[in-house]
């Protein structure tokens, strides 16, 4: 457990995790919205869309603070490239 927490201290790892969550919740929201024909489908779609938007806003604000600290964060694309190499 402490290994996971220590790896989440790195902003790049947290950024990848947040983007992974967003990349799952948005398509699931669209899928539920298109397949469930009731108020439950509409409410689930709106909830997942709002959740994804909130995560995106939080990530954007957090990355602005990270950029001001100059901790080596170059954006999620460059973080993914660093993990792939």
Scan for tokens 């709106």, then name that residue.
Answer: 46
Q: Which domain holds residue 66?
A: 2-84
Residue in 26, 18, 3 with CA at minimum distance from that of residue 66: 18
pLDDT digits (tens, 9 = 90+) for 35-81: 998 999 999 999 999 999 999 998 887 777 665 555 566 666 666 77
pLDDT of residue 31: 95
> For the chain, how many structural domains are there in total?
1
d(CA 14, CA 50): 20
d(CA 41, CA 22): 19
pTM given for the model: 0.69
């Amino acid at each position: 457990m402490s290994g996971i927490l220590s790896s989440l201290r790195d902003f790049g790892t947290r950024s990848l995790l947040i983007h992974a969550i967003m990349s799952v919740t948005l398509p699931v929201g669209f899928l539920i919205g298109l397949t469930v024909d009731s108020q439950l489908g509409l409410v689930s779609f709106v909830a997942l869309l709002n959740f994804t938007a909130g995560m995106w806003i939080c990530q954007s604000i957090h990355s602005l603070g990270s950029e001001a600290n100059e901790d080596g964060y170059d954006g999620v694309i460059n973080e993914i490239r660093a993990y792939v190499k």
